[in-house]
Amino acid sequence: MIATSQPLASAAGLRVLQQGGTAVDAAVTAAAVLAVVEPSMTGIGGDLFALVFDPAAGRLHGLDACGRAPESATPEAFARRGLAEMPSTGVLSITVPGVVSGWDALLSRFGSITMAQALAPAIDCARHGYPVAQLMAHEWQECAARLAADRHAAATFLAGGVAPVMGEVVTNPRLAASLEHIARDGRDAFYRGPIAEAIAADMRARDGLLTAADLAAHTADWVDTISTTYRGVAVHEMPPSTQGVVALEMLNILEGFDIAALGHNSADTLHLLSEAKKIAFADRGAWLADRASMPDGALDLLLSKAYAADRREEIDPRRATSYRPGALPSGAAAARDFAGRDHGDTVYLTVADGRGMVVSFIQSLFGSFGAGLVAGETGIALHNRGAGFVLTPGHPNQVGPRKRPLHTLVPGMLMKDGRPWVSFGVMGGDNQAQAHAQVVMNLVDFGMQVQTAGDAARVRHFGTDLAVERGIGPAVRADLESRGHKLRDGRGQMGGYQAIMIDADTGVLLGGSDPRKDGLAIGW
């Protein structure tokens, strides 16, 4: 089974599975296709994270393919440029891209095909063309003016000076050539070879910070997951600098309420969800950063059931409230709150093969077409993940050399009795942790099947506003407003969910693909 946000990617991954490939083989193949056919969302100029369940070892592995800040990305470098906050786009928002290193690490450890075989469908799409899907066409057109401002981006993505329409067949020969380099020479083509040289030259011409040495120094890291239990179900996420801990803290807080008795998407349930989110995001703003830079004890505290119980007591069931970060046991003062940049251009996919391997996989450029720049003639849009840093002196997430930025990307997996039950994710910036909590509630508290759990109406915060989808009725909305929530229209703001549920008794795989996206869950 494979579920992705684009049918061409799902089809490519399915073919790999039918030919005997592993779940990792299919995931990398599909991700490479997505890097071509959903260019505003993802690409080889971005980052990726993955959870891989290895049935042979009976354990879950995490892959952190987050790129780090350039060596010269010191606070002083930004101060010299007169910047009071991190730029959200442009050359100074660019960090090392981690995608290619992630593909290489996955295939090297759990793959059965070569990089060239995995990239062949993507190269075919880029070289010979693919039809643009509906939602991608809409976003592409919305970004046309931004792309036109950079001559390399315009040459790559605006054929004839205009964005494509739905159904139009487009090619990307520049990106095809870069993918062909990687297919032939592996990860070194990107981090040490001609692509690295082209990216570094483009960055020098733009007075950027990223250098060839930064690219050459990059590594992807295998890491342990972080987890909690929610009503007996193990919920696994990636460790910092991702916001996986935020989803887990929300669930720990919510576990203390009888959510099933309160009702699905009732005003009581949505109020508690909203308040748990605000508490967890206050903590995110204070403490979440590169795990090497977080204060001692911060991660353990945020994952603690006892800490969640204490924070739960702050919630007024009848009134929306604002919250401050919690205090660390060491007495360290909480840094100034930081809400983050709520970019949401990401792809999520999940794959399960017939041997029991399961992959939960997420890949992103952060903003639409990343930093809005293409590196020379490479056809590669570079991400703006550096926008996740802050310039606040002393903050754990303050920008610094070779440091990972706060990351919104979070693949998830639910496990029962040490085996995968549901592999899932919800793309969409700050929405991801909020949506993870809602999906888990739908599955665990309300017993929904895998498709229904993603179809159900969701809510999310934008600043102080609570965005609400139209499936949440007027009586519930009125009740939420009476408690002090400021509501806004949530249409088109809830990201996109993909998931696979594994029936432990029968081995049957059940796929779910969000109707909010162009995607497809398919198995054989």
Lookup result for tokens 């297919």: 183
d(CA 484, CA 486): 6
Angle among Cα 381, 52, 349 to the nearest 5 degrees reads 45
Lookup result for tokens 């990687």: 182
Strands of the sheet containing 496-502, edge to edge, are: 226-230, 233-237, 412-416, 419-427, 496-502, 509-513
8 A C-beta contact, residue 493 and residue 431:
yes
d(CA 340, CA 422): 29
8 A C-beta contact, residue 276 and residue 283:
no
Cβ count within 10 A of residue 260: 14
Residue 472: C-alpha distances to residues 69, 439, 465, 515 (Å): 41, 16, 16, 17
What's the N-to-C CA distance of the chain in angstroms? 7
What is the radius of gyration, based on Cα positions, of the chain?
22
- Concatenate the DSSP letters of all residues of 417-451 into one string: TTEEEEEEEEESTTHHHHHHHHHHHHHHTS---HH
User: What is the largest distance, in Å, between two alpha-carbon atoms of the chain?
Assistant: 62
Instruction: Say if residue 463 is exposed, middle or buried (CB neighbours under 10 Å; 0-12, 13-18, 19+).
Output: exposed
The tokens for 503 are 């029936």
8 A C-beta contact, residue 38 and residue 88:
no
Active site residues: 346
d(CA 104, CA 431): 29
Instruction: Say if residue 314 is exposed, middle or buried (CB neighbours under 10 Å; 0-12, 13-18, 19+).
Output: middle
For residue 228, give the DSSP letter: E
